[in-house]
Structures are given as structure tokens and as C-alpha cells.
């Protein structure tokens, strides 16, 4: 049996940063120490060796929209970005509201074998917001996180029921916060820019009202609630206050909401259309502060591939979303004054816990732990070239940009999925 040794790197996990070699055998970490020997020795000098990244928010598009992405291509994009687990969003066709679809997604993930694909379940049948999905059945099939992502659950009573019912199942409800009546036809943040461009505005309050509502419902029911892709300063404040009150809420932010502002839309390039929309510099500053002070628990990509022809529609017709898996690390290191231990917390440890997979991802690097690891060079730079992306789609806003922070190797269950920056399968 091959013994892999990651030699000379800096290990970063929940215990902090320390130098050491990591030996891997049979899919697990077997030894951590100095001057370890092995059959396959990787020089990790100057690199960080950390638990593999976990994305709470990936649209893998399969089943239903394989033209944009498949579970295999999305998994490969994830591996290249340093991920070992991706939570697959449920807005597939058919949606992930039945055990059959959940099993299909998980099996396709296993077949690809590049990351653990963790299917999320719908909160409501068909994501229509009318009746609860069979949450207990889905939970019994292993679903730990439920969301109607793409839409928020609009009905207050239904959301209350979902929280009450979900509490009994020990699962987490992840809300896409958007009061739909306030965002009908909306294209971009409601601001001076949308005033001048004549684009229908997407007001911050559409998000904040639902964040507030669900914080209060969490207070009432005691359910665990996770807030997806927060985008406004006020949302961060609401979550900060809720955490101060000891409520079981968590939150994520995307790399693009940390790095790009609303003025990007002045180019009329549909690549910048996302849901929620790119916001103001003030919001960006608040989101960054929220990550750094722990109010926001996780960076999540909201990786949303779309084929060229869909993004060549008019701004008001084009679907929202941009790629994220392969650029998340670079964007995070580029825009956040973050120490690497905290980066590993928000990209691996915290999201693993929120997704309910902390037994195998985001774990401390010690003997016995499954070898789901990333090795990245935090100083190496690279340029984003669309043709070099593993994703099937090309809708990245970072074309041509130089990123700092390069994934060298990704190991999933002890095997290289990415080695020397190249996907291994």
C-alpha cells in the first residue's frame, strides 16, 4: 500500500498553525511528525496543508441542466479549487425533494469520485413554497441540510412548520432570504447606479426582512437556521445581534459579494448578474468585517454555471449566477486581511460543521482522520483563463485577473484528485 507523505508544509487546522509532515495510508492520516518517510513524498515547502475546503453552496446542475454543468465537471472544478466536499443545491430538474433524486445526486458524486457530493434537500415540494417536502424521509436518506435555494420560503406559517418539524430531525434549514414581492423583475441593487441605468432595483430590505423573520422564528422554535449568501450590511448586523442572543444561527457569504460591487453592471455584462445582486462598497466592507469577526461563519461559492447562450440574453432576461469554485481561494486571499487559520475555519471547519459532515471533513489533521486535505501555496499567483477552467461553463467575472493563492494538491479519501495543479481524473 502506497504511503503518501506531504513534507515540509505548514499544517493549519482548528488547533492553529504548526510545521510538520503528514503521512497518509489507506485513505487516512496515519502519522504527523518530522522527517516522515514514504513511497510518494510530496514537497509542500512554503505551502499550507489544511483540511479540504467544504462548499455549502454549489449548483451542480445535474439532473436537468447538464449543458451548464454535470456533477462530474462541477466536482472537478471543486477539486481544482481545493474542495473535498460540495453541498449540492436542490434547484435541479427534477428538484431534490425525493429520496430517488437525492440518491441519484449522491451516486453521481461517487461515480465522479472527485469530492464528496452532499445533496441538500428541498424544504418544500418542488421548491414551490406550498407544502413541506418529505423531510423525515430525506433526513433518513442522509440529508442534513434543507433549502429551497433560488427562492426563499415566503409563507411564514410554512417556514415556522419547517423549523418545528426540522428541529425534531436534527437538521439545519438554510434560507435564501428574498421577499419575492419586493424583487419582482429586479436586476441589480437598488442604488444610484440602477437609477441611472434604468434597471429595476433589488432592494436590500427584501433580504433583510426575511433574515429578521427567520431569526425571530429561530428564537421561537429553537431550530438551527443557516443564512445563505448574505449580501447587505444590515443582514450582517441582524445576524451579529442574533448570535449575541445565543440563537442557533449561522451565515455564509460568497467571494463575489466580498469582491465586486454594483457598479460592475454599468458594463451591461450579464456575468455580473447574480442573486442576491452585487451591492455597495459599504455592504462589501460590512461583509468583510463580518467574516473577520466571526459573525459570518463560512465562505460559500454559490457556484452557478450557465451556458453562453443563456448569459447572452438581455440583462433582465439572463439567469443570475456566476462560477466560484475555482476562484474562491484566490478571491478570499485577495480581498480579506485574514490569517490562514481563520481562512481554514471559514472555508473548511465551519462549513463542514454546518453541513453535518464534520466527522469526515474539516477535521484536525491527526492519525485516524480521513485524508480529505488541500495543499495550497498562499503566495503563488496565477491568472484566470476561462479555457483552463474545469467547469463546463465560462461565466466567471474574474477573467484575466491575477489571483494570489494556488491550490497545488487536493486529496480526497487519501487519493490525489488534484496533483501539481492538475486534475487527476
Partner 1 sequence: MKHLRSIDELGRDGLLRLLDLTNHMVEVNRRPVPKVPALRGRTVVSLFFEDSTRTRLSFETAAKRLSADTMTFSVSTSSVNKGESLRDTVETITDMGVDAFVVRHKSTGIPWQISDWTTASVVNAGDGWHQHPTQALVDCFTVREALGKERFDGLTITIVGDIKHSRVARSNVAAFSMLGADVVLVAPPTLLPPDVSHWPVEVSYRLDDVLARTDILYMLRLQSERMSQGHVPNLREYAETYGLDALRVAKLPPHAVIMHPGPMNRGVEMLIDPSALPNSLIHKQVANGVSVRMAVLFDLLAGESTAANLQQVAT
Please identify every residue annotated as catalytic: 302
Contacts of 77 (CB under 8 A, 6+ apart): 69, 303, 323, 325, 326, 389, 390, 391
180 touches partner 1 by CB under 8 A = no
Please say which residue, 180 or 241, places its beta carbon nearer to partner 1.
Answer: 180
Q: In angstroms, give the least distance from the CB of 267 to partner 1.
A: 7
Please say which residue, 166 or 277, places its beta carbon nearer to partner 1.
Answer: 277
CA distances from 285 to 149, 227, 279, 280, 340 (A): 25, 18, 10, 9, 20
Please say which residue, 52 or 277, places its beta carbon nearer to partner 1.
Answer: 277
Measured distance CA(229)–CA(223) in Å, rounded: 19
Q: In angstroms, give the least distance from the CB of 268 to partner 1.
A: 3
191 touches partner 1 by CB under 8 A = yes
Q: Under a CB-based contact definition with an 8 Å cutoff, are residues 230 and 212 in contact?
A: no
Please say which residue, 211 or 271, places its beta carbon nearer to partner 1.
Answer: 271
What is the CB neighbour count within 10 angstroms for residue 385? 10
Please say which residue, 136 or 315, places its beta carbon nearer to partner 1.
Answer: 315
Q: In angstroms, give the least distance from the CB of 313 to partner 1.
A: 8
Q: Per residue in 399-422, is it b (16+ CB within 10 Å) or e — as a string?
A: eeeebbbbbbbbbbbbbbbbbeee
Please say which residue, 48 or 194, places its beta carbon nearer to partner 1.
Answer: 194
- 91-99, 102-110, 147-155, 195-203 -> range binding partner 1 (CB under 8 A): 195-203
407 touches partner 1 by CB under 8 A = no
198 touches partner 1 by CB under 8 A = yes
201 touches partner 1 by CB under 8 A = yes
114 touches partner 1 by CB under 8 A = no
Q: What is the DSSP letter of 347?
A: I
Measured distance CA(33)–CA(41) in Å, rounded: 14
Count of residues near partner 1 by CB under 8 A: 22
Q: Under a CB-based contact definition with an 8 Å cutoff, are residues 122 and 148 in contact?
A: yes
Contacts of 216 (CB under 8 A, 6+ apart): none
- Cell numbers at 352, concatenated: 463542514
Q: In angstroms, give the least distance from the CB of 394 to partner 1.
A: 15
Among 89, 177, 199, 389, binds partner 1 (CB under 8 A): 199
Measured distance CA(115)–CA(418) in Å, rounded: 11
- 99-107, 172-180, 192-200, 336-344 -> range binding partner 1 (CB under 8 A): 192-200
Among 34, 157, 314, 368, binds partner 1 (CB under 8 A): 314
Binding mask 237-276 for partner 1 (x = CB under 8 A): ------------------------------xx-x------
Count of alpha carbons within 13 angstroms of residue 364, beta-carbon side: 8
Q: Under a CB-based contact definition with an 8 Å cutoff, are residues 353 and 362 in contact?
A: yes
Residues that bind partner 1 (CB under 8 A): 187, 190-192, 194-199, 201, 203, 267-268, 270, 309, 312-317
Amino acid at each position: 500500500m502506497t504511503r503518501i507523505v506531504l513534507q515540509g508544509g505548514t499544517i493549519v487546522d482548528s488547533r492553529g498553525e504548526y510545521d510538520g509532515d503528514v503521512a497518509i495510508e489507506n485513505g487516512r492520516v496515519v502519522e504527523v511528525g518530522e522527517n516522515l518517510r514514504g513511497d510518494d513524498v510530496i514537497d509542500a515547502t512554503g505551502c499550507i496543508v489544511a483540511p479540504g475546503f467544504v462548499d455549502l453552496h454549489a449548483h451542480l446542475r445535474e439532473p436537468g441542466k447538464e449543458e451548464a454543468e454535470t456533477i462530474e465537471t462541477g466536482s472537478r472544478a471543486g477539486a481544482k479549487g481545493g474542495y473535498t466536499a460540495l453541498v449540492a443545491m436542490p434547484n435541479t430538474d427534477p428538484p431534490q425533494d425525493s429520496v430517488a433524486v437525492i440518491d441519484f445526486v449522491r451516486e453521481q458524486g461517487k461515480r465522479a469520485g472527485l469530492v464528496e457530493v452532499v445533496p441538500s434537500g428541498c424544504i418544500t415540494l418542488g421548491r414551490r413554497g406550498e407544502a413541506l417536502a418529505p423531510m423525515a424521509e430525506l433526513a433518513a436518506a442522509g440529508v442534513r441540510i434543507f433549502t429551497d435555494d433560488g427562492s426563499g420560503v415566503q409563507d411564514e406559517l410554512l417556514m415556522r412548520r419547517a423549523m418545528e418539524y426540522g428541529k425534531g430531525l436534527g437538521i439545519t434549514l438554510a434560507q435564501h432570504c428574498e421577499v419575492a414581492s419586493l424583487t419582482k423583475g429586479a436586476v441589480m441593487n437598488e442604488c444610484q447606479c440602477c437609477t441611472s441605468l434604468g434597471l429595476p432595483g433589488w432592494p436590500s430590505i427584501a433580504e433583510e426582512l426575511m433574515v429578521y423573520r427567520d431569526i425571530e422564528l429561530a428564537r421561537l422554535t429553537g431550530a438551527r437556521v443557516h443564512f445563505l449568501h448574505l449580501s447587505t450590511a444590515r443582514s450582517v448586523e441582524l445576524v451579529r445581534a442574533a448570535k449575541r442572543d445565543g440563537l442557533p444561527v449561522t451565515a455564509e457569504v460568497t467571494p463575489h459579494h466580498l469582491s465586486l460591487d454594483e457598479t460592475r453592471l454599468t458594463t451591461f455584462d450579464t456575468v455580473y448578474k447574480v442573486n442576491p445582486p452585487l451591492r455597495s462598497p459599504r455592504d462589501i466592507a460590512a461583509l468583510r468585517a463580518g467574516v473577520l469577526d466571526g459573525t459570518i461563519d463560512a465562505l460559500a461559492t454559490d457556484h452557478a454555471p450557465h451556458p453562453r447562450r443563456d448569459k447572452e440574453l438581455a440583462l433582465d432576461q439572463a439567469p443570475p449566477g456566476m462560477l466560484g469554485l475555482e476562484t474562491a481561494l484566490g478571491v478570499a486571499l485577495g480581498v480579506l486581511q485574514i490569517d490562514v487559520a481563520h481562512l481554514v475555519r471559514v472555508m473548511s471547519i465551519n462549513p463542514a460543521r454546518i453541513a453535518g459532515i464534520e466527522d469526515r471533513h474539516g477535521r484536525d489533521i491527526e492519525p485516524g482522520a480521513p485524508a480529505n486535505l488541500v495543499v495550497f501555496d498562499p503566495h503563488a499567483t496565477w491568472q484566470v483563463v476561462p479555457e483552463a477552467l474545469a467547469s463546463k461553463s465560462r461565466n466567471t467575472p474574474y477573467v484575466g485577473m491575477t489571483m494570489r493563492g494556488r491550490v497545488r494538491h487536493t486529496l480526497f479519501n487519501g487519493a490525489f484528485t488534484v496533483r501539481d495543479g492538475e486534475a487527476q481524473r
